[in-house]
Amino acid sequence: MTPTPTAPAPPASAPLFDVVDLARTYRRGSETVAALRGVTLSIGAGAFVVLAGPSGSGKSTLLNLMGGLDRPDAGDVRFGGVSLSRASDAERIELRRRQLGFVFQSFNLVPVLSAYENVEYGLWLAGMPRPERRARVERALEVVGLADRMTHRPDHLSGGERQRVAVARALVHEPRAVLADEPTASLDSKTGGAIIALLVELNQIQGTTFVVSTHDPAIADLAPRVVRLADGRVVADERRRA
């Protein structure tokens, strides 16, 4: 049996994410596309970081590698001291299940399930007892402002409400970090701003680490730290005072 990585909490001075000289290429027909070229990046526990850049700059590829959804061609990603690049598939699945949350631009909700059931589903798969599932799901939906909408299916929710369900689903297992890939891309500017404001608030209240990708300059302006990518490289790392 493959051992489960424990990913012990790193020392206070150690980064939660440590990305070192990361490279990833893809084949597009006869062409080789370099999605990432030597990306190095450290993110501490409790941080809120935006990855900014145009489409094709490498934001989604970087998030996929940081979340253990893909493997790099070169370099390494360490999460809580565990090398995701060297971990087995089973180890990476276990880390994602217990310590990482994901939010996607297309919501990825199950249409026939209610908001409550969408948030509960992962806990049910993990075999969590029903009373604990109920307590966690109700708390997560309350935190994102949907306590009165938990019985509604996705087609009876607005775009902003669907994304709030997706945020609740990402948070319900109490992960150490949430990776959000263009979470406002399917929303109007007002609703998108509200979603980012919610993520910032959750970061400040709960201390969860958030790494959020966006191509929207208005969204990037709200973040205390912005890492800008272009052509698969980090071209700027901007930090703002609180």
Q: What's 121's domain CATH number?
A: 3.40.50.300
Q: What is the pLDDT of residue 241?
A: 67
Rg (CA), the chain: 18
Q: What is the pLDDT of residue 242?
A: 56
Spatial distance between the Cα atoms of 168 and 146, rounded to a whole number of angstroms: 9
Print the domain residue range for 46. Answer: 17-239
Residue 12 maps to a domain: no
Burial of 101 (0-12, 13-18, 19+ CB in 10 A): buried
The answer to whether residue 105 scores a pLDDT higher than 60 is: yes
Residue 85 maps to a domain: yes
The answer to whether residue 1 scores a pLDDT higher than 70 is: no
Residue 37 maps to a domain: yes
Q: What is the mean pLDDT of the chain?
A: 90
pTM score, two decimals? Answer: 0.89
Residue 5 maps to a domain: no
Residue 8 maps to a domain: no
Residue 193: pLDDT band by 50, 70, 90 thresholds? Answer: confident
Helix 130-143 × helix 159-171 angle, to 10°? 130
Average the pLDDT over 88-96 and give the result. 93
**Count of domains observed in the chain:** 1
Q: Six-digit token pair at 64?
A: 């996929």
As separate numbers, helices (DSSP H) first and strands (DSSP E) second, the chain gives 7, 10
Q: What share of the chain in percent tops pLDDT 70? A: 94
Q: What is the pLDDT of residue 6?
A: 44
